[in-house]
Amino acid sequence: MVTSDPLVLTNVVTCTAIVLRLMMFRKPGGKHNWWASWLAYLIILAYASVPFRFLFDYYLHVHWASVTINLIICAAVFRARGNVAQLFHVLRPE
């Protein structure tokens, strides 16, 4: 049974957009940051669970606050063009 709840669908699309943008990040000639790569990998794993759970009918309910937070994170990821190091500038080692 596929849900037609607009909040669930919005969250699935938002999480999918975050995953795809992070996966498509390219920085030609840029310096490799191992911590940013691992952080991006963990974020992708976490956010990819939402569309996969939806596809296998295990994602039926979501709270509006989660959708709002995910929309804000999605906007930040697209603003940073998928660059986790730029997104989490505060975590950069000095």
The per-residue pLDDT for range 15-42, each reduced to its tens digit, is 999 999 999 998 887 788 888 899 999 9
- Burial (CB count within 10 angstroms: exposed 0-12, middle 13-18, buried 19+), residue 20: middle
pTM summary value: 0.88
* 38-94 confidence digits (pLDDT tens): 999 999 999 999 999 999 988 889 999 999 999 999 999 999 999 998 887 755 555
Check residue 92 and give its pLDDT: 54
Q: What are phi and psi of 89, to 5 degrees?
A: -55, -30
- 2 has a pLDDT exceeding 70: no
Amino acid (one-letter) located at 2: V
